[in-house]
């Protein structure tokens, strides 16, 4: 995985992008903010440094049993006079481990967060002085025309070149025994300090030292706020146009197929209810509504059956003809032997039950029953005796 360091300039208009791989490094100076994404690979790590003058870094402690909301309210109450803009226009990031509070204007950090959420990387945003911060030691780095100060208490700031001496005098008065280690990238820059205790360093070395110090887990407070972003998500998963089309088809199918299945089930249910209702109305023209088909069928058959058996004169055949049952494949009347033969083709159990009950209630004798039940479907022949009238 590649590691990137991104330094934002004083005007928040351009950035320098440094890339470090296993053995390859690259540098993209004066990069437009909107072009940062083109120089950063997805699923990598990006450390973004803001000039420290854009951030108020204040040493602060959280009281015991004090909630985050209570600490934030107390902090802004104590430091309201130190802020240039209204309290509501600022965002507070606090590290209880480092006793350090970072205050940055929302007009600066929110657009930067939106931009960095598009690159699909693990991002951290720090004040620039974190790069040369040394434990319990004051340091000062001359970088890109500005002097970045890191103080021993964990706070920091930066001053423009023309304001360096005035700021240095102010800090010296406020902080006792202030003797920072001055750092510069070459001899010419080192001479700017006019100090004898100046250390020449390289930006690449500072980057690699920072990676080494925070390779496992960083305890530094980051100002980055991760948010869902479509472009960032697509970059992380490395989706191409073809992948998006396939994904759209799959998601659409998952959404549409259940709806189609529900529509088909409702259609089958409606068809079943209509056919069942048709059978009931054929048996009883006054029938109005199906509530419990099995119970209502039993009641209907009891109503058809009178208290005493009545001889039928081809009545069974008349009932069967009155019922619209497509599964009666054929019927044949043998007048010489006074019987009728019915051929069934995969009749449902409910319809067969109706016919069986009609035969039983009419006291019609079954001469021969060759009906077979195959998974609830009745097929075969049935020979019934009929009267000779």
In this structure, is residue 360 part of a structural domain? yes
Q: How many structural domains are present in the chain?
A: 3
**Model confidence over 85-103: pLDDT tens digits?**
888 899 999 999 888 999 9
In this structure, is residue 377 part of a structural domain? yes
Q: What is the pLDDT of residue 357?
A: 82
C-alpha distances in Å from residue 137, one per residue of 128, 149, 178, 217: 16, 11, 9, 22
Per-residue pLDDT band at 313 (split at 50, 70, 90): very low
Distance CA 88, CA 196 (A): 45
Distance CA 150, CA 56 (A): 13
Q: What is the pLDDT of residue 198?
A: 77
Final residue of a domain: which of 190, 222, 239?
Answer: 239
One domain, residues 121 and 251: no
Distance CA 268, CA 271 (A): 5
Average pLDDT over residues 123-147: 90
One domain, residues 214 and 244: no
Least confident of 74-83, 175-184, 188-197, 263-272: 188-197
In this structure, is residue 172 part of a structural domain? no
Final residue of a domain: which of 278, 304, 330?
Answer: 304
- For tokens 């870094």, name the residue: 57
Q: Is 144 helix (H, G, I), strand (E, B) or coil?
A: coil
**Helix runs in 323-371, H state only:** 349-361
Distance CA 365, CA 375 (A): 27
Average pLDDT over residues 313-337: 67
Final residue of a domain: which of 264, 283, 304?
Answer: 304
In this structure, is residue 184 part of a structural domain? no
CB 200 within 8 A of CB 184: yes
Q: Is 5 helix (H, G, I), strand (E, B) or coil?
A: strand
C-alpha distances in Å from residue 193, one per residue of 140, 158, 169, 173: 10, 14, 13, 18
One domain, residues 247 and 366: no
CB 1 within 8 A of CB 22: no
Which CATH number do you get for residue 107? 3.30.420.380
State how beta strands 339-348 and 25-32 pair: unpaired
Q: Is 284 helix (H, G, I), strand (E, B) or coil?
A: coil
Which residue range is the domain that position 211 belongs to?
A: 3-134+201-239
One domain, residues 116 and 8: yes
φ, ψ dihedrals at 28, nearest 5°: -125, 95
One domain, residues 225 and 110: yes
For the chain, the residue count is 389
One domain, residues 235 and 256: no
In this structure, is residue 257 part of a structural domain? yes
One domain, residues 113 and 68: yes
Residues pairing with 344 in the sheet: 328, 380
One domain, residues 257 and 327: no
Whether the pLDDT of residue 311 is over 60: the answer is no
One domain, residues 208 and 341: no
In this structure, is residue 181 part of a structural domain? no
One domain, residues 7 and 116: yes
Paired tokens of 294:
């099995």
Greater confidence (273 vs 173) lies with 173
Paired tokens of 3:
């590691």
- Provide the CB-side half-sphere exposure for 36 (13 A, CA): 29
In this structure, is residue 99 part of a structural domain? yes
In this structure, is residue 194 part of a structural domain? no
Least confident of 106-115, 139-148, 285-294, 343-352: 285-294
One domain, residues 208 and 356: no
C-alpha distances in Å from residue 389, one per residue of 313, 322, 335, 354: 7, 21, 10, 26
One domain, residues 324 and 247: no
Average pLDDT over residues 66-83: 89
Q: What is the pLDDT of residue 312?
A: 41
Whether the pLDDT of residue 222 is over 60: the answer is yes
pTM score:
0.62
Judged on CB neighbours under 10 Å (0-12, 13-18, 19+), 304 is middle
């Amino acid at each position: 995985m590649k590691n990137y360091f991104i330094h934002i300039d004083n005007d928040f208009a351009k950035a320098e992008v440094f890339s470090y791989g296993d053995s390859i490094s690259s540098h993209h100076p004066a990069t437009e903010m909107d072009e940062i994404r083109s120089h950063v690979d997805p699923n990598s790590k990006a450390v973004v440094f803001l000039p420290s003058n854009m951030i108020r870094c204040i040493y602060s402690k959280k009281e015991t049993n004090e909630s985050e909301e209570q600490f934030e309210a107390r902090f802004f109450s104590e430091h309201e006079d130190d802020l240039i803009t209204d309290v509501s226009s600022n965002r507070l990031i606090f590290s209880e481990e480092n006793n350090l509070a970072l205050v940055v204007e929302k007009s600066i950090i929110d657009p930067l967060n939106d931009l960095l959420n598009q690159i699909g990387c693990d991002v951290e945003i720090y004040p620039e002085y974190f790069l040369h911060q040394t434990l319990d030691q004051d340091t000062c780095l001359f970088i890109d025309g500005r002097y970045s100060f890191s103080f021993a208490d964990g706070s920091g700031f930066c001053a423009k070149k023309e304001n360096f001496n005035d700021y240095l005098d102010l800090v010296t008065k406020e902080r006792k025994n202030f003797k920072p280690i001055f750092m510069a990238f070459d001899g010419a820059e080192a001479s700017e300090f006019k100090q004898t205790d100046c250390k020449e360093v390289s930006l690449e070395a500072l980057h690699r030292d920072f990676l080494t110090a925070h390779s496992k887990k960083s305890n530094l407070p980051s100002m980055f706020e991760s948010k869902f972003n479509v472009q960032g998500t697509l970059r992380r998963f490395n989706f191409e146009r073809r992948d998006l089309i396939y994904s759209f088809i799959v998601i659409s199918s998952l959404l549409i197929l259940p709806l189609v299945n529900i529509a088909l089930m409702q259609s089958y249910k409606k068809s079943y209810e209509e056919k069942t209702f048709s059978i009931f109305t054929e048996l009883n023209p006054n029938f109005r509504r199906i509530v419990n088909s099995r119970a209502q069928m039993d009641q209907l058959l009891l109503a058809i059956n009178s208290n005493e058996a009545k001889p039928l004169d081809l009545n069974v055949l008349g009932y069967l003809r009155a019922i619209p049952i497509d599964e009666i494949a054929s019927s044949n009347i043998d007048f010489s032997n006074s019987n009728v033969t019915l051929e069934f083709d995969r009749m449902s159990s409910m319809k067969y039950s109706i016919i069986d009950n009609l035969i039983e209630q009419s006291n019609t004798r079954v001469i021969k029953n060759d009906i077979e039940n195959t998974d609830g479907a009745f097929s075969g022949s049935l020979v019934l005796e009929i009267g000779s009238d």
